[in-house]
Amino acid sequence: MKRVIVRLEDFGKSFFKKEVIKHINLDIYENEFITLLGSSGCGKTTILRSISGLDKPTTGKVYIDEVDVTDMDPTKREVNTIFQNYALFPLMTVYDNIAFGLRMKKVDEEEIKTRVNEMLELVHLTGYEKRFPRELSGGEAQRVSLARGLINRPKVLLLDEPLSALDLKLRKEMQIELKRLQRKLKITFIYVTHDQDEALSMSNRIAVVRGGKIEQVGTPSYVYDHPSTLYVATFVGEANVFDAEVKKINKEKKLLYLGDNFVSKYSKNKYSEGDKVKVVIRPENIKISRTLKKENSLKGVVDELIYDGSNTKLMVDVDGMIVKVLVFGNDHSYEVGDKLYLYWDNVDMNVFGEKDER
Amino acid sequence: MKNNKVLDNIWLTLVFIFLFLPIAILIIFSFNKSRLNIMFTGFTLDWYKELFNNSVLLEALINTLIVAVISTVISTVIGTISAYGLKKYDFKGKKLINELLYIPIVIPEIVLGISLLCIYSFMKLELGMFSLILSHIAFSIPFVIINVNSAIESMSANLEEAAADLGASKFKTFFHVVLPSLMPGIVSGAGLAFTLSLDDVVISYFTAGPDSNTLPLQIFSMIKSGVTPDVNALITVLLLMIFTGIFIYMSISLRRIKREGV
């Protein structure tokens, strides 16, 4: 059993009587990289701020390493935060910025010097000691802010959209960098982002936050392959969403109708005849055939081909609905106007009923 | 276009002459042999000698500097803390207070002078250095608050949160993070308070006592009997002091601009 390092127990938060976080329970383990993923205003930053102590929960408790810190001052908590705008102290040098936390703890200057140098090396900024924040690029500034947090050897590092101010290339580099740091230092990272790519590529676990609630928690591949709700399915990764209806039931198998003419076998017992459902299929799970398949098969016309260097995305018009299909590479014979049949395996299909949605 | 440029330059020169000619004349006449500020009859340093023997003027100068320094220090401290408090904390009537700040700035000085005099006589406070300093503090505070306010606005929002997150108490955060960031605003606020105090006539006229004659008041009263050229010498000395101060301030801020690349 992994050790729980942060526990949110019935945690709720209201601002001006408006409930922003609705009674969340979440355990975060030692040495994991967990991402709180959600669109802006979903409450993910509020969760982070209650762990750092910058906000106090309205209801419930926050535990850090089994100690109740709900009413503890942020200055006393063994967590550090990385801010989106870096929040470096503009009038202090890089060295003084990084040394700030240790100076507040009255560590002696000799040890501070050793540890600052260690940190500068860790974030590849040796030689930057005397620079001022204004003389740093965005990527360098964020490395300094990482060093400034990590030097305190926190139990948890909280990262509030730390890469969103950087350009794409730098962002990709920093993603790898962050992952490396986390593995090397074995500190729990709690990462907040609205970028699902970032969440999928960096995390051990993802918690999808929506409207102040946690919609699903799981490993990136589990959340991607088995989304618990339609929202998660469409927010994490690309998805084709079909309207369907459950029509005939015989013993174990139900038949799903997509539109009027198409039938798919569906064996879960969750829905009964007449239920309207949504069928979600990832673009890469849709296969293409020139001939009609027995089941899970839709007839369509290629509307557009989009080649991005490594993959080709086919936009296929199926009865007026554009279905996205992903084909690896550029080695195919499809052209705009081709008539095709789309099919898929039942395991790649996620079905959500209307009653599942809030 | 070319014509316009020439016209522009002439215009600019005229404006500068208009602004600085009186000051230049004053400096020139401080070296004038003649007693009258009309004709330049020859070079002399006599007026400077006379100045250092004129105990009334020197006493007024010392009074002025004492009042300016003390009122600047006190109003800067009060103004800075007030600006920070008004920004950081929410309370009832905060908006009203923010608006009221501008009233001492926009109302005529004479009104402020009379009101202060009324309060002092109501409280049976004897007019003198104390009442004078108190008045100068009163009219300087809003200027400091407004200057510090603009520095607060330009300060990055979550620096204080970052400091708290790194273990700095509120007290340490204020002195290590907030105060250095507000320094430009505090310095310009203090500078403004200092110059306002230095040349104030109207409010000082109402609130000064017999033992607290300031330089502007002294010069003002000398007009009736005619201004002697040693006043010119005194003003020249003052100007020299002020220009030195401005020069030091500018070179510091230039170095800072170079360093931080603002």
For chain A, say whether B258 makes contact (Cβ under 8 Å). Answer: no
Long-range contacts of B237-241 (CB under 8 A, 24+ apart): B237/B48, B237/B51, B239/B23, B239/B27
Identify whether the C-beta of residue B175 lies closer than 8 Å to the C-beta of residue B134.
no
| Domain-embedded: residue B46 | no
pLDDT digits (tens, 9 = 90+) for A119-160: 999 999 999 999 999 889 888 999 999 999 999 999 999 999
Please check the confidence at residue A1 and state whether its pLDDT lies above 70: no
Among the candidates A182, A203, A235, a domain finishes at A235
| Domain-embedded: residue B233 | yes
Tell me what pLDDT residue B237 has.
84
Domain that holds residue A106: 4-235
How far apart are the CA of B101 and the nearest CA of chain A, in angstroms?
29
Q: What mean pLDDT comes out for the span A170-186?
A: 90
Q: A216 and A252 share a domain?
A: no
Among the candidates A197, A213, A235, a domain finishes at A235
Q: A191 and A172 share a domain?
A: yes
Band of pLDDT at residue A255, cut at 50, 70 and 90:
low
Q: A229 and A281 share a domain?
A: no
**Runs of H (alpha helix) within A126-274:** 138-150, 168-185, 196-202, 220-225, 230-235
Contact A105 B177 (CB under 8 A): no
Q: Which one, of A167, A185, A81, lies nearest residue A123 by Cα?
A: A185
Choose from A83, A106, A155, A156 for mutation: most chain B CBs within 10 A. A83
**Mean pLDDT for chain A overall:** 87
Only one residue has tokens 């004709």, namely B39
The enclosing domain of A192 has a CATH number of 3.40.50.300
| Domain-embedded: residue B43 | no
Quote the CA–CA distance of B198 and A224 in Å, as a whole number: 72
Return the residue of A nearest to B158 by Cα: A87
| Domain-embedded: residue B76 | yes
> How many C-beta atoms surround the C-beta of residue A301 within 10 A?
14
For chain B, say whether A72 makes contact (Cβ under 8 Å). Answer: no
Please state the domain count of chain A.
2
| Domain-embedded: residue B7 | no
Please check the confidence at residue A298 and state whether its pLDDT lies above 50: yes
Band of pLDDT at residue A358, cut at 50, 70 and 90:
very low
Please check the confidence at residue A356 and state whether its pLDDT lies above 70: no
The percent of residues above 70 in pLDDT, for chain B, comes to 95
Q: Which one, of B174, B142, B127, lies nearest residue B155 by Cα?
A: B174
Beta sheet of A276-281, edge-to-edge order: A262-266, A253-258, A240-250, A276-281, A349-353
Structure tokens at A353: 């009923």
Q: A142 and A224 share a domain?
A: yes
Tell me what pLDDT residue A170 has.
87
Q: What mean pLDDT comes out for the span A22-50?
A: 91
Q: A20 and A117 share a domain?
A: yes
Please check the confidence at residue A262 and state whether its pLDDT lies above 70: no
Band of pLDDT at residue A261, cut at 50, 70 and 90:
low
The enclosing domain of B88 has a CATH number of 1.10.3720.10
Q: A198 and A287 share a domain?
A: no
Please check the confidence at residue A242 and state whether its pLDDT lies above 60: yes
Q: What mean pLDDT comes out for the span B179-192?
A: 89
Please check the confidence at residue B184 and state whether its pLDDT lies above 90: no
| Domain-embedded: residue B97 | yes
> How many C-beta atoms surround the C-beta of residue A325 within 10 A?
24
Q: A156 and A261 share a domain?
A: no
Please state the domain count of chain B.
1
Among the candidates A235, A264, A281, a domain finishes at A235
Cα→Cα distances B79→A51, A331, B198, Å:
36, 72, 18
Band of pLDDT at residue B23, cut at 50, 70 and 90:
confident
In chain A, which residues have their Cβ closer than 8 Å to the Cβ of B181? Answer: 90-91
Q: A346 and A308 share a domain?
A: yes
The enclosing domain of A264 has a CATH number of 2.40.50.140
pLDDT digits (tens, 9 = 90+) for B88-120: 888 888 889 888 888 888 999 999 999 999 999
Q: What mean pLDDT comes out for the span B175-201?
A: 89
Beta sheet of A4-15, edge-to-edge order: A18-29, A4-15, A59-64, A67-68
Q: A71 and A176 share a domain?
A: yes
Return the residue of B nearest to A90 by Cα: B181
For chain B, say whether A104 makes contact (Cβ under 8 Å). Answer: yes
Q: What mean pLDDT comes out for the span A103-120?
A: 92
Contact B161 A91 (CB under 8 A): no
Please check the confidence at residue B262 and state whether its pLDDT lies above 50: no
Please check the confidence at residue A185 and state whether its pLDDT lies above 70: yes
Contact A90 B164 (CB under 8 A): no
Tell me what pLDDT residue A260 has.
59
Q: A266 and A227 share a domain?
A: no
Please check the confidence at residue B78 and state whether its pLDDT lies above 90: yes
Q: A84 and A177 share a domain?
A: yes
In chain B, which residues have their Cβ closer than 8 Å to the Cβ of A112? Answer: none
Q: A17 and A134 share a domain?
A: yes
Identify whether the C-beta of residue A163 lies closer than 8 Å to the C-beta of residue A177.
no
Q: Is B7 left (phi over 0), alpha (psi -120 to 50) or beta?
A: alpha
**Mean pLDDT for chain B overall:** 87
Contact A100 B166 (CB under 8 A): yes
Tell me what pLDDT residue A119 has.
92
Between strands A33-37 and A205-210, the pairing is: parallel
pLDDT digits (tens, 9 = 90+) for B127-156: 889 999 999 999 999 999 999 998 898 887
Return the residue of B nearest to A136 by Cα: B260
In chain B, which residues have their Cβ closer than 8 Å to the Cβ of A80? Answer: 165-166
Angle between helices B55-88 and B179-198 (to 10 degrees): 140
Band of pLDDT at residue A258, cut at 50, 70 and 90:
low
Band of pLDDT at residue B12, cut at 50, 70 and 90:
very high
| Domain-embedded: residue B20 | no
For chain A, say whether B256 makes contact (Cβ under 8 Å). Answer: no
Please check the confidence at residue A259 and state whether its pLDDT lies above 80: no
Domain that holds residue B134: 56-260
Q: What is the ipTM of this complex?
A: 0.80
Choose from A15, A89, A93, A107 for mutation: most chain B CBs within 10 A. A89
Window 160-219 of B: residues touching A by CB (8 A cutoff) are 161-169, 172, 176-177, 180-181
Return the residue of A nearest to B161 by Cα: A54
Contact B162 A152 (CB under 8 A): no
Quote the CA–CA distance of B99 and B76 in Å, as a whole number: 19
For chain B, say whether A15 makes contact (Cβ under 8 Å). Answer: no
Please check the confidence at residue A89 and state whether its pLDDT lies above 60: yes
Identify whether the C-beta of residue A273 lies closer than 8 Å to the C-beta of residue A247.
yes
Please check the confidence at residue A59 and state whether its pLDDT lies above 80: yes
Least confident of A179-183, B92-96, B258-262: B258-262
